[in-house]
A and B are shown apart, each in its own frame.
Chain A
Amino acid sequence: GAVVSQHPSRVICKSGTSVKIECRSLDFQATTMFWYRQFPKQSLMLMATSNEGSKATYEQGVEKDKFLINHASLTLSTLTVTSAHPEDSSFYICSARLPAGTSGGSGDTQYFGPGTRLTVL
């Protein structure tokens, strides 16, 4: 249980285009999902918290108009990088929080997707 998928795994795009990344919880419903960015050999940096049915909460310094997050269902959150530029190239990882009572979860454990490597040319 607690499987999170992410699509695509890798994307290369031209500068100025928009890219959508999907994050799905496959065997549980996640009211809360998280989006992280990871630079090479660095830690995970939280970008935003995605809440089903409401607006995402962005961390300080993250442009909400550039990184659009939609959490339209209990199993799907999407991150759209708008007007991508080379400096947006990075490894983007989502995670979903296992709700309390699900598979023994207590409501605070996060399970990660496999990540999406974005390269903007």
Chain B
Amino acid sequence: GENVEQHPSTLSVQEGDSAVIKCTYSDSASNYFPWYKQELGKRPQLIIDIRSNVGEKKDQRIAVTLNKTAKHFSLHITETQPEDSAVYFCAATSWGQNFVFGPGTRLSVLP
């Protein structure tokens, strides 16, 4: 089955700096890779996703890159703000089946 690893487990950055979170997956059949943001005690919120036919996707300060050959994808947040502080989860799935989440990264943006 699919296995998703995520690094780092915790990340602290100064406000205004960039943050990068990396995930690797094992199943080459996986073709959809979403990223979720979860604030304490709240639901995971989809922030960006990418499909296997695309190498990069950007939405304002957030971008995701995918390297299918190496089986890894990364979340990039630029100009970080305190409200970006949360736990971020990556996930991988093949056609919406067997969603597997990474262990999460706790991002702290220091003012």
Contact = CB atoms under 8 A, between A and B. Distances in A.
A112 to B, nearest CB: 4
Interface residues of A, number: 20
Given A97-B96, A107-B96, A108-B32, A43 B102 contact: yes
A112 B101 contact: no
Contact of A112 (B44, B51, B102, B104): B44
Contacts of A42: 103-104
A111 B34 CA distance: 11
B93 interface: yes
B3 to A, nearest CB: 12
B19 to A, nearest CB: 19
Interface string A1-44: 00000000000000000000000000000001010000001111
Contacts of B95: 107-108
Contacts of B20: none
Contact of A110 (B99, B100, B102): B99
Contacts of A117: 41
A74 interface: no
B44 A93 contact: yes
Interface in B37-83: 41-46, 49, 51
Contact of A93 (B43, B46, B102, B104): B43
A32 B99 CA distance: 12
A66 B41 CA distance: 25
A44 B42 contact: no
Contacts of A107: 95-96
Nearest to A99: B96
Interface of A: 32, 34, 41-44, 46, 93, 97, 106-115, 117
10 contacts: A43-B89, A46-B100, A97-B96, A106-B51, A108-B96, A109-B49, A109-B96, A112-B36, A115-B41, A117-B41
Interface of B: 32, 34, 36, 41-46, 49, 51, 89, 93, 95-96, 99-104, 106
10 residue pairs, one from A and one from B, having the closest CB atoms: A108-B96, A112-B43, A108-B32, A43-B103, A114-B43, A44-B101, A43-B101, A112-B44, A43-B104, A107-B96
